[in-house]
Amino acid sequence: MSALLEVSGISKSFDGFKAINNLSFSINAVELRAVIGPNGAGKTTFMDIVTGKTRPDEGEVRFGETGKSLLKMNEAQIAREGVGRKFQRPTVFEDQSVADNLTMALKADRSPFSVLGWRPSSVSVARVAELAAEVGLSDAVDRRAGELSHGQKQWLEIGMLLAQEPRLLLVDEPAAGMTLAEREQTTSLLCRLAESRAVVVVEHDMDFVRRLNCKVTVLHQGSVLAEGSLDHVTRNPDVIDVYLGR
Ligand SMILES: Nc1ncnc2c1ncn2[C@@H]1O[C@H](COP(=O)(O)OP(=O)(O)OP(=O)(O)O)[C@@H](O)[C@H]1O
């Protein structure tokens, strides 16, 4: 299968400290991948580099069939190219309904010119219903986002990201603060989303990663320490030393 994202030999230092150290790995176009690693392993910096928030000192980040360099693009261009990022804390418009939040996300997808005269069309109304269904919020479309549970807010935000039709979705610690039932629903949501796009989940919670049942990349000191199934990487003595054995 061809790679959608190809990170090769990237390094990034902050005040002489190498947060990312000659990091290389790739993500397929249709794949669910978990990225784990101890505190300070470079997980956030990796996401910052892919989304254009941080520039690496060296290396290359290529995206799509033609291998476009993401390093030549700014954050907005990278998002338009099809990279969506879900931060840990949900950032929905609390006073607006679920439907309005999703409608705004669809609107954000438009060019600046079409936004000027933009009105919800029957197409966007149908798309909002589709997005709500995709993230399990069909019954909550008319509710104020502020009234939703923490898990539902996270799903709403994922729905808002889906409005942009990302090809790669980077999700930061989706299980944090969720109830067990919400975690289970989030697992199935992420697995479903990864049936038609690339989804990279950065997560500390091993139980959650186990449920994702996908390939795992372990980062340590800014490089890949191990890669494979969760069972494979958790048997690796280096991984046990630096991460699990703590
Ligand atoms: N802007 C910055 N300035 C200075 N140091 C930074 C900066 N960003 C990250 N670092 C350092 O780089 C290292 C890697 O940080 P990063 O946040 O990428 O790790 P992480 O794997 O996401 O950790 P955590 O699991 O704690 O979120 C850390 O030692 C951190 O202190």
Residue 91 is predicted with a pLDDT of 85
Q: How far is the CA of 13 from the centre of ligand 1 (A)?
A: 10
Question: Which residue ranges have their beta carbon within 6 Å of ligand 1?
Answer: 14, 19, 37, 39-45
Q: In the prediction, which pLDDT does 1 show?
A: 56
Domains, the chain, in order of start with CATH, read 3-244 (3.40.50.300)
Question: Is ipTM over 0.95?
Answer: no
Residue 105: the pLDDT is 92
> What pLDDT shows up at residue 227?
96
Please give the distance, rounded to the nearest whole angstrom, from the Cα atom of residue 202 to the centre of ligand 1: 14
Per-position DSSP letters for the chain, written without gaps between them: --EEEEEEEEEEEETTEEEEEEEEEEEESSEEEEEE-STTSSHHHHHHHHTTSS--SEEEEEETTTTEEGGGS-HHHHHHHTEEEE-SS----TTSBHHHHHHHHHHTTS-HHHHHT----HHHHHHHHHHHHHTT-GGGTTSBGGGS-HHHHHHHHHHHHHTT--SEEEEE-TTTT--HHHHHHHHHHHHHHTTSSEEEEE---HHHHHHH-SEEEEEETTEEEEEE-HHHHHH-HHHIIIIIT-
pLDDT at 2: 76
Atom 3 of ligand 1 has which residue's CA nearest to it? 14
Neighbours of 151 (CB within 10 A): 22
Residue 224 Cα to ligand 1 middle (Å): 16
Closest-lying ligand 1 atom to the alpha carbon of residue 45: 18
**Ligand 1: nearest atom to the Cα of 46:** 18
Residue 95: the pLDDT is: 95
Tell me how far the alpha carbon of residue 222 lies from the centroid of ligand 1, in angstroms.
9
Residue nearest to atom 30 of ligand 1 (CA): 40
Q: Which atom of ligand 1 lies closest to the CA of 204?
A: 25
Which atom of ligand 1 is closest in space to residue 41's alpha carbon?
Answer: 21
- pTM of the entire predicted model: 0.91
Q: Which residues of the chain, if any, have pLDDT below 70? A: 1, 108-123, 244-246
Task: Name which residue sits closest to atom 2 of ligand 1, judged by CA.
Answer: 14
